[in-house]
Amino acid sequence: MKDKYFEKILELALEEDLKEVGDVTSRAIFADDMTTAVLYSKDSGILAGIDFFRQVFIKVDPSLSVTIFKKDGSLLKPGDKVAEISGLTAAVLEAERTAINFLSFLSGIATETDLCVAAAKENGGAVVLDTRKTLPGYRSLSKYAVSVGGGTNHRFGLYDMVMIKDNHIDASGSITAAVGKVRDKWDGAFEIEVECRNLQEVREAVSLGVDRIMLDNMDPNETAQAVALGDGTVSFEASGNMHIEKIKKYSPTGVHFISVGSLTHSVGAFDFTLKIG
Protein backbone atom coordinates (compact mmCIF):
# COMPACT_ATOMS: atom_id res chain seq x y z
CA MET A 1 0.00 0.00 0.00
CA LYS A 2 1.36 3.40 -1.06
CA ASP A 3 0.71 6.55 0.93
CA LYS A 4 2.69 9.72 0.18
CA TYR A 5 2.28 10.99 3.72
CA PHE A 6 3.52 7.73 5.19
CA GLU A 7 6.63 7.87 3.05
CA LYS A 8 7.43 11.34 4.39
CA ILE A 9 6.70 10.37 7.99
CA LEU A 10 8.80 7.21 7.65
CA GLU A 11 11.80 9.24 6.49
CA LEU A 12 11.46 11.49 9.54
CA ALA A 13 10.85 8.59 11.93
CA LEU A 14 13.98 6.73 10.86
CA GLU A 15 16.07 9.89 10.80
CA GLU A 16 15.16 10.76 14.39
CA ASP A 17 15.87 7.20 15.59
CA LEU A 18 19.01 6.34 13.60
CA LYS A 19 20.65 9.56 12.37
CA GLU A 20 23.65 8.74 10.15
CA VAL A 21 25.12 6.24 12.63
CA GLY A 22 22.35 3.67 13.08
CA ASP A 23 21.80 1.43 16.10
CA VAL A 24 25.19 1.64 17.79
CA THR A 25 24.31 -1.14 20.24
CA SER A 26 23.08 -3.74 17.75
CA ARG A 27 25.78 -2.99 15.17
CA ALA A 28 28.46 -3.59 17.81
CA ILE A 29 26.96 -6.74 19.30
CA PHE A 30 25.59 -8.51 16.24
CA ALA A 31 27.89 -7.31 13.42
CA ASP A 32 26.98 -9.56 10.47
CA ASP A 33 24.83 -12.03 12.43
CA MET A 34 21.61 -13.24 10.80
CA THR A 35 18.31 -13.93 12.51
CA THR A 36 14.62 -14.63 12.15
CA ALA A 37 12.30 -12.49 14.29
CA VAL A 38 8.62 -13.12 14.93
CA LEU A 39 5.98 -10.49 15.68
CA TYR A 40 3.29 -11.59 18.14
CA SER A 41 0.10 -9.90 19.29
CA LYS A 42 -0.19 -9.23 23.01
CA ASP A 43 -3.71 -7.74 22.81
CA SER A 44 -7.15 -8.56 21.48
CA GLY A 45 -8.51 -6.42 18.66
CA ILE A 46 -8.25 -5.43 15.02
CA LEU A 47 -5.01 -5.37 13.04
CA ALA A 48 -4.32 -2.27 10.92
CA GLY A 49 -1.16 -1.08 9.21
CA ILE A 50 0.62 -4.36 8.53
CA ASP A 51 1.90 -3.21 5.12
CA PHE A 52 3.27 -0.02 6.67
CA PHE A 53 5.01 -2.27 9.21
CA ARG A 54 6.56 -4.23 6.33
CA GLN A 55 7.68 -1.08 4.52
CA VAL A 56 9.70 0.10 7.53
CA PHE A 57 11.90 -3.02 7.44
CA ILE A 58 12.39 -2.83 3.68
CA LYS A 59 13.31 0.86 3.96
CA VAL A 60 15.99 0.09 6.56
CA ASP A 61 17.38 -2.86 4.61
CA PRO A 62 15.88 -3.96 1.26
CA SER A 63 17.48 -7.39 1.68
CA LEU A 64 15.27 -8.22 4.68
CA SER A 65 12.57 -10.81 4.05
CA VAL A 66 9.18 -9.99 5.61
CA THR A 67 6.42 -12.60 5.72
CA ILE A 68 2.94 -11.48 6.75
CA PHE A 69 0.57 -13.97 8.40
CA LYS A 70 -2.37 -11.69 9.22
CA LYS A 71 -3.98 -9.11 6.97
CA ASP A 72 -5.47 -5.76 7.97
CA GLY A 73 -8.91 -6.21 9.47
CA SER A 74 -8.00 -9.53 11.10
CA LEU A 75 -9.21 -10.13 14.63
CA LEU A 76 -6.17 -10.75 16.81
CA LYS A 77 -5.85 -12.38 20.19
CA PRO A 78 -2.84 -12.57 22.52
CA GLY A 79 -0.18 -14.95 21.20
CA ASP A 80 -1.19 -14.72 17.53
CA LYS A 81 1.76 -14.84 15.12
CA VAL A 82 1.43 -11.77 12.91
CA ALA A 83 4.63 -11.54 10.88
CA GLU A 84 8.16 -12.88 10.50
CA ILE A 85 11.31 -11.01 9.47
CA SER A 86 14.57 -12.64 8.36
CA GLY A 87 17.95 -11.07 7.65
CA LEU A 88 20.70 -9.13 9.37
CA THR A 89 19.99 -8.96 13.10
CA ALA A 90 21.16 -5.37 13.40
CA ALA A 91 18.88 -4.25 10.55
CA VAL A 92 15.89 -6.01 12.08
CA LEU A 93 16.47 -4.26 15.40
CA GLU A 94 17.03 -0.89 13.74
CA ALA A 95 13.57 -1.10 12.16
CA GLU A 96 11.80 -2.81 15.05
CA ARG A 97 10.58 0.11 17.19
CA THR A 98 9.56 2.38 14.33
CA ALA A 99 7.64 -0.45 12.64
CA ILE A 100 5.85 -1.48 15.83
CA ASN A 101 5.04 2.14 16.70
CA PHE A 102 3.14 2.55 13.43
CA LEU A 103 1.39 -0.79 13.80
CA SER A 104 0.43 -0.23 17.45
CA PHE A 105 -0.95 3.24 16.74
CA LEU A 106 -3.06 2.17 13.76
CA SER A 107 -4.28 -1.10 15.31
CA GLY A 108 -5.36 0.82 18.41
CA ILE A 109 -7.50 3.09 16.26
CA ALA A 110 -8.99 0.18 14.31
CA THR A 111 -9.78 -1.72 17.51
CA GLU A 112 -11.59 1.18 19.16
CA THR A 113 -13.45 1.92 15.93
CA ASP A 114 -14.64 -1.68 15.75
CA LEU A 115 -16.05 -1.41 19.28
CA CYS A 116 -17.81 1.87 18.49
CA VAL A 117 -19.30 0.51 15.27
CA ALA A 118 -20.60 -2.55 17.12
CA ALA A 119 -22.22 -0.32 19.75
CA ALA A 120 -23.93 1.76 17.05
CA LYS A 121 -25.17 -1.28 15.10
CA GLU A 122 -26.67 -2.83 18.21
CA ASN A 123 -28.53 0.36 19.10
CA GLY A 124 -30.09 1.83 15.98
CA GLY A 125 -27.44 1.57 13.31
CA ALA A 126 -25.94 5.06 13.07
CA VAL A 127 -22.78 5.30 10.98
CA VAL A 128 -19.62 5.99 13.00
CA LEU A 129 -17.48 8.80 11.57
CA ASP A 130 -13.99 10.02 12.36
CA THR A 131 -13.01 13.72 12.47
CA ARG A 132 -10.12 16.07 11.64
CA LYS A 133 -8.83 15.75 15.21
CA THR A 134 -5.70 13.89 14.14
CA LEU A 135 -1.97 14.19 14.78
CA PRO A 136 -0.59 16.57 12.13
CA GLY A 137 0.78 14.53 9.23
CA TYR A 138 -0.94 11.34 10.35
CA ARG A 139 -4.44 12.06 9.04
CA SER A 140 -4.48 9.72 6.06
CA LEU A 141 -2.99 6.90 8.15
CA SER A 142 -5.44 7.48 10.99
CA LYS A 143 -8.43 7.60 8.68
CA TYR A 144 -7.22 4.44 6.97
CA ALA A 145 -7.20 2.69 10.35
CA VAL A 146 -10.75 3.92 11.04
CA SER A 147 -11.92 2.39 7.77
CA VAL A 148 -10.18 -0.90 8.62
CA GLY A 149 -12.11 -0.91 11.90
CA GLY A 150 -15.41 -0.53 10.07
CA GLY A 151 -15.88 3.20 10.52
CA THR A 152 -16.51 5.79 7.82
CA ASN A 153 -14.30 8.74 6.99
CA HIS A 154 -15.68 12.25 7.47
CA ARG A 155 -14.12 15.02 5.36
CA PHE A 156 -10.36 14.69 4.97
CA GLY A 157 -9.66 18.40 5.24
CA LEU A 158 -11.02 21.89 4.83
CA TYR A 159 -10.92 21.49 1.06
CA ASP A 160 -13.42 18.72 0.32
CA MET A 161 -16.64 19.69 2.14
CA VAL A 162 -18.23 22.86 3.50
CA MET A 163 -18.82 22.75 7.24
CA ILE A 164 -20.39 25.89 8.67
CA LYS A 165 -19.58 25.98 12.38
CA ASP A 166 -20.40 28.32 15.24
CA ASN A 167 -17.68 30.86 14.43
CA HIS A 168 -18.84 31.09 10.82
CA ILE A 169 -22.45 31.54 11.90
CA ASP A 170 -21.67 34.17 14.53
CA ALA A 171 -19.42 36.12 12.17
CA SER A 172 -22.04 36.01 9.38
CA GLY A 173 -24.94 36.92 11.64
CA SER A 174 -27.05 33.83 10.94
CA ILE A 175 -27.06 30.39 9.37
CA THR A 176 -29.03 31.81 6.45
CA ALA A 177 -26.38 34.43 5.75
CA ALA A 178 -23.51 31.94 6.03
CA VAL A 179 -25.16 29.41 3.72
CA GLY A 180 -25.94 32.18 1.25
CA LYS A 181 -22.28 33.23 1.09
CA VAL A 182 -21.17 29.64 0.55
CA ARG A 183 -23.66 29.10 -2.27
CA ASP A 184 -22.69 32.37 -3.92
CA LYS A 185 -19.03 31.36 -3.81
CA TRP A 186 -19.15 27.66 -4.72
CA ASP A 187 -22.48 27.22 -6.52
CA GLY A 188 -23.16 23.68 -5.34
CA ALA A 189 -19.63 22.35 -5.84
CA PHE A 190 -19.43 21.04 -2.27
CA GLU A 191 -21.76 19.28 0.14
CA ILE A 192 -22.85 21.66 2.91
CA GLU A 193 -22.99 20.68 6.58
CA VAL A 194 -24.16 23.12 9.26
CA GLU A 195 -23.45 22.86 12.97
CA CYS A 196 -26.56 23.62 15.04
CA ARG A 197 -26.60 24.42 18.74
CA ASN A 198 -30.35 24.39 19.37
CA LEU A 199 -33.66 23.45 17.78
CA GLN A 200 -34.24 26.93 16.41
CA GLU A 201 -31.03 26.68 14.41
CA VAL A 202 -32.04 23.20 13.24
CA ARG A 203 -35.31 24.57 11.85
CA GLU A 204 -33.41 27.29 10.03
CA ALA A 205 -30.89 24.87 8.54
CA VAL A 206 -33.62 22.45 7.43
CA SER A 207 -35.50 25.27 5.71
CA LEU A 208 -32.36 26.10 3.69
CA GLY A 209 -32.06 22.60 2.27
CA VAL A 210 -28.52 21.91 3.46
CA ASP A 211 -27.12 18.41 3.06
CA ARG A 212 -26.29 17.59 6.68
CA ILE A 213 -26.85 19.04 10.12
CA MET A 214 -24.41 18.47 12.95
CA LEU A 215 -26.11 18.46 16.35
CA ASP A 216 -23.49 19.86 18.66
CA ASN A 217 -23.56 18.63 22.27
CA MET A 218 -27.32 18.12 22.37
CA ASP A 219 -28.60 15.52 24.82
CA PRO A 220 -30.29 12.38 23.40
CA ASN A 221 -33.82 13.74 23.93
CA GLU A 222 -33.09 17.01 22.13
CA THR A 223 -31.25 15.08 19.41
CA ALA A 224 -34.36 12.97 18.74
CA GLN A 225 -36.47 16.15 18.57
CA ALA A 226 -34.02 17.65 16.08
CA VAL A 227 -34.14 14.57 13.85
CA ALA A 228 -37.94 14.77 13.87
CA LEU A 229 -37.68 18.24 12.32
CA GLY A 230 -36.00 16.81 9.23
CA ASP A 231 -37.72 16.88 5.86
CA GLY A 232 -36.42 13.54 4.62
CA THR A 233 -33.62 15.02 2.54
CA VAL A 234 -31.24 16.27 5.22
CA SER A 235 -29.09 13.88 7.27
CA PHE A 236 -28.19 14.38 10.93
CA GLU A 237 -24.91 13.91 12.74
CA ALA A 238 -24.51 13.75 16.51
CA SER A 239 -21.26 15.15 17.89
CA GLY A 240 -19.69 16.06 21.19
CA ASN A 241 -17.21 13.96 23.22
CA MET A 242 -18.65 10.71 21.93
CA HIS A 243 -17.56 7.34 23.31
CA ILE A 244 -19.03 3.84 23.38
CA GLU A 245 -21.53 4.42 26.18
CA LYS A 246 -22.77 7.66 24.62
CA ILE A 247 -23.04 5.98 21.22
CA LYS A 248 -25.43 3.48 22.77
CA LYS A 249 -27.64 6.39 23.86
CA TYR A 250 -27.43 8.49 20.69
CA SER A 251 -27.70 5.85 17.97
CA PRO A 252 -31.37 5.05 18.80
CA THR A 253 -32.34 8.74 18.35
CA GLY A 254 -32.49 8.34 14.59
CA VAL A 255 -29.32 10.25 13.70
CA HIS A 256 -27.65 9.04 10.55
CA PHE A 257 -24.09 9.64 11.77
CA ILE A 258 -22.15 9.87 15.02
CA SER A 259 -18.73 11.54 14.82
CA VAL A 260 -16.15 10.33 17.31
CA GLY A 261 -13.06 12.53 17.67
CA SER A 262 -11.43 10.28 20.24
CA LEU A 263 -10.86 7.59 17.60
CA THR A 264 -7.91 9.53 16.26
CA HIS A 265 -6.74 11.69 19.16
CA SER A 266 -6.75 9.63 22.34
CA VAL A 267 -6.94 5.90 21.63
CA GLY A 268 -4.48 3.62 23.41
CA ALA A 269 -1.79 1.73 21.51
CA PHE A 270 -2.25 -1.95 20.66
CA ASP A 271 0.47 -4.10 22.23
CA PHE A 272 2.83 -6.19 20.05
CA THR A 273 6.14 -7.86 20.77
CA LEU A 274 8.97 -8.87 18.42
CA LYS A 275 10.98 -11.93 19.47
CA ILE A 276 14.41 -12.65 18.00
CA GLY A 277 14.97 -16.33 17.22
**Strand 235-239 relative to strand 257-259, pairing:** parallel
193 is catalytic: no
Measured between alpha carbons, how far is 269 from 229 in angstroms, rounded to an integer?
41
The conformational region for residue 107 under phi > 0 = left, psi -120 to 50 = alpha, else beta, is alpha
165 is catalytic: yes
Measured between alpha carbons, how far is 125 from 121 in angstroms, rounded to an integer?
4
15 is catalytic: no
Q: Which of 61, 216, 222, 271 is catalytic?
A: 216
Give rounded-to-5 percent helix, strand, coil for the chain.
45, 20, 35
70 is catalytic: no
Of 162, 165, 166, 158, the closest CA to residue 132 belongs to: 158
Q: Which of 8, 71, 77, 165 is catalytic?
A: 165
226, 218 Cβ separation under 8 angstroms:
yes
Q: Which of 133, 183, 248, 249 is catalytic?
A: 133
Q: Element (H or E) spanning 28, and its range?
A: helix 24-30
146, 109 Cβ separation under 8 angstroms:
yes
116-to-156, 224, 260 alpha-carbon distances in Å: 20, 20, 9
Q: Which of 72, 195, 201, 237 is catalytic?
A: 195
Residues in the chain: 277
Contacts of 237 (CB under 8 A, 6+ apart): 129, 193, 212, 213, 214, 215, 255, 256, 257, 258, 259
Q: Which of 70, 81, 97, 246 is catalytic?
A: 97
59 is catalytic: no
Q: Which residues are catalytic?
A: 97, 133, 165, 195, 216
